[in-house]
Amino acid sequence: MVRASRARPRHRRSSSIASGGVTPVKAAITAGIVGMIEKSGVLDNLPEIPVVGRKGTIAIVAWYWSRHGGGHIARDVALVTAAICGYQYGREGKIDG
């Protein structure tokens, strides 16, 4: 007697929104936070790493913080700040501030 094989269980794939990805609203809010950091003068107190500048330093610190207990907000700040730095480097050839 031939038995039918068992059906494979189907796993539902999650979307980027459900998994906590950076949405346009989160990106806009995070870019606003980075702008407020730059405007407040806190950025001037940070050490400047030669290639990435002070904004790159924010991205590196936020990424490290997100990996060690900072949560989703720190990760979003790191990703959006890195995107801002990449845009600025591509446009001007350097990362200021």
pLDDT reported for residue 14? 57
In this prediction, residue 68 has a pLDDT band, given cuts at 50, 70 and 90, of very high
Indicate the DSSP class of residue 49.
Answer: B
* pLDDT average, residue stretch 59-78: 89
> What is the percentage of the chain residues whose pLDDT exceeds 90?
6
Q: If we measure between CA atoms, which residue out of 42, 29, 40, 45 comes closest to residue 77?
A: 29
Express each pLDDT in 19-56 by its tens digit: 567 788 888 888 888 888 888 888 888 888 888 888 88
- pLDDT score of 96 more than 80: no
- Are the CB atoms for 77 and 62 separated by under 8 Å? yes
55 vs 50: CA distance, rounded Å: 11
- pLDDT score of 17 more than 50: no
pLDDT reported for residue 65? 92
* SS3 state of residue 20: coil
> What is the percentage of the chain residues whose pLDDT exceeds 70?
89
The angle at the Cα of 49, spanning 47 to 55, to the nearest 5 degrees, equals 75
